[in-house]
Structure 1
Amino acid sequence: MPTAWRLVHKKYMHSAFSGQGARLAGGRWNAEGHAVVYTAGSLSLALLEIIVHLEFKEALKLYKAIPVDIPDSLLQSIDPAKLPDGWSASPPQPCTQFIGNCWMERLSTVALRVPSAIVPNESNYLLNPAHPEFSQIKVGEPIDLPVDPRVLERLA
């Protein structure tokens, strides 16, 4: 059972697992209009995923980290070798959004393991809040985001 991590700005804690942020903005694995919850396979990867999108380094202090246990029976994986060339390009490509949208619409599993575009040998986990077994995901207690001050010093 993998433990994934979700970093959430304090003002969005009430809706941390609704998928509404991704529904409004879209993302690598979902087009606008599709609610999905993005999590990372480690706390450090979750931090990197936030840092690459962060405009103000001081905003990191406003985030909480939430552990999420995903039962193996609720998990499907994408084989990175089968992804098309350019899947990790920025901005996100329609090909990965199509993959994620199809997975969500099929409701085949609660979670989908996908490669990270930042560190392709590591995994992110998409969670489908519309899946009927979504409640089987075990969401832990939020903790303060432990960031070494040296990280903040090096961010522009």
Structure 2
Amino acid sequence: MRVYRLVKERFADTALDGSGAKLYGGRWNRKGHAAVYTSDSIALAALELLVHLHRSEVLNRYRLVTLDLPDDEVLVLDDAGLPGDWRDDPAPVSTAAIGTAWLSGGQSLALSVPSVLIPQQCNLLLNPGHGACAAVFATASLQPFDFDPRLVR
């Protein structure tokens, strides 16, 4: 399965170490737990980034990280496993508990979860501590990515 991540150019060297999520926490992880957030399409990766930016930040230089994950290393969180508040803003404690338990358990490289922005598409949480990570991350591609300036008009 191919996944994508957009990062600011200055963070390209640490794009896959999970340090940002470890420092700040996220919808699917608690602070103190490293995780790498990716998406199943470039468009969703862009949207997931844009929702957190101020207008002036959109034109900053970015890098697109592309990874190929082994299908057998992706665990899918189905609708029955989602708490009723999973789409709340700010992110609820319930989703962070699910993701943190998955990270701690180490049962797969990736956890596929629906996007809050577009529930029909998926974000994939990667566990940088998983044994399969090094091989997958070693084959990652990185390329320049620029947003269309019309986004900030």
| Residue 46 of structure 1: aligned partner | 45
Q: Displaced runs of 4+ in structure 1, greater than 6 A?
A: none
Letter in 2 for 1:71: P
What does the per-residue CA deviation read over 1:67-106, in whole Å, with 9 as the maximum and x for residues that have no partner?
1111101111000243121211111111100110010001
The offset of 1:58, in angstroms, is 3.8
Corresponding residue for 1:29?
28
Whole-angstrom distance in 2 between the partners of 1:76 and 1:111: 6
- Provide structure 2 residue ranges, at least 5 long, that are not aligned to the other structure: none
The amino acid that maps onto 1:150 is R
| Equivalent position of 1:122 in the other structure | 121
The separation in 2 between residues aligned to 1:25 and 1:97, in whole angstroms, is 12
Superposition CA RMSD, Å? 1.4
Contact 1:58 1:152 in 2 (8 A): no
Percent of residue pairs bearing the same amino acid type: 38
Aligned residues between the structures: 152
Q: Report 1:6-155 matches (<5 A).
A: 6-138=5-137, 139-153=139-153
| More moved, 58-67 vs 85-94 | 58-67
TM-score by length of 2: 0.92
Could you tell me which amino acid in structure 2 is paired with residue 86 of structure 1?
D
The CA deviation at 1:146 is: 4.3
CA contact (8 A) 1:61 1:145 kept: no
> Unpaired segments of 5 or more residues in structure 1?
none
